[in-house]
Amino acid sequence: MSQLMPDQLKQLWESVEQHRLTYDEFTRKQTELLAREREVWTKALLLEGHADLQASLLAELDAYFQVGPEEVRRRCLAAVDTVKKGWTDEATRGDVAAIVQFYDQSPAMIYELMWWHTLEDDQAPLAYVTALEFARRHACCSHLDFGAGVGAGSILFARGGLQTASADVSTTLQSFSRWRMDLRQLPARFIDLKTSPLPERAFDFVTAMDVFEHLADPVRTVEELHAALRHAGFLFARLHAEEDTERPQHIVMDFAPTFHKLDELGFVEVWRDEWLWGHQVYQKR
């Protein structure tokens, strides 16, 4: 069985350092590997009748909001600033009610996330493709996307044959995600974290992509995800964030307490992306 894509890239770079591969050969191979991941992502998200990912995602936004294609694009390009302006000092200080209210009432988050998923500015969403491949290799059947946002992870995993659930605190995001799944006639369970706890021992695989830096209490979240996972289940997450003046909603920078809680609960790190985006996989023991 071949290595996961980030491991392949790491090994290829080691070949460059050992002068067994040229830098240009490495760059070409990296482009090829990323293109394969991008193809999986694109095929999963494209609407019927579309061939271009950006055009498809923008058309999807227009179908939902019905504001016209030019306005959709404008809102996408302005979304980072719009989200920043809507963030509050109370939320920055970790006030749970303020954080929930922001995500619950901010349609700009839909535009920001959908534009991010076009891969125009950043290919980090492709980590979901790596996560799906990991889950398949370990015969996982049931998936939870925690902090699911606009539901791209649920779409990808449902297309990949797993039972999937989408959990978020935002009714706005969940409504859009549900609409997207219905549009594609894909089954999914939706969990509103404001009103419902995660079911216990329900999932083989949990993704928490670029979520932990947004949480008022990431340590408590680890406890909740531990309870939601079955024995030997996996948590695929990125537990890292850097200061970003454009994204004040990144309120957690110190993950030492989170790592301590993972260790205390018996999670064991079984894989880490050491080349691209730094995601880690923990297994419940």
Give the model confidence (pLDDT) of 168-195 as tens digits.
999 999 999 999 999 999 999 999 999 9
Please, which residues bridge with residue 168 across strands? 192
The tens digit of pLDDT for each residue in 116-149 reads 999 999 999 999 999 999 999 999 999 999 999 9
* C-alpha span between 128 and 134 (Å, rounded): 10
pLDDT, tens digit, 9 for 90 and up, residues 40-80: 999 999 999 999 999 999 999 999 999 999 999 999 999 99
**pLDDT (mean) for 78-106:** 91
Give residue-wise pLDDT tens across range 224-273.
Answer: 999 999 999 999 999 988 888 899 999 999 999 999 999 999 999 999 99
Q: Which residues have C-beta within 8 Å of that of residue 86, sequence separation ≥ 6?
A: 102, 106, 108
CA distance 214 to 251: 6
Integer angstrom CA distances of residue 105 from 66, 110, 266, 285: 18, 11, 36, 38
Residue with tokens 């095929």: 43
For the domain bounded by 124-284, which CATH number is listed? 3.40.50.150
pTM, rounded to two decimals: 0.95
Domain ranges of the chain: 5-45, 53-116, 124-284
pLDDT band of residue 92 (cuts 50, 70, 90) is: confident
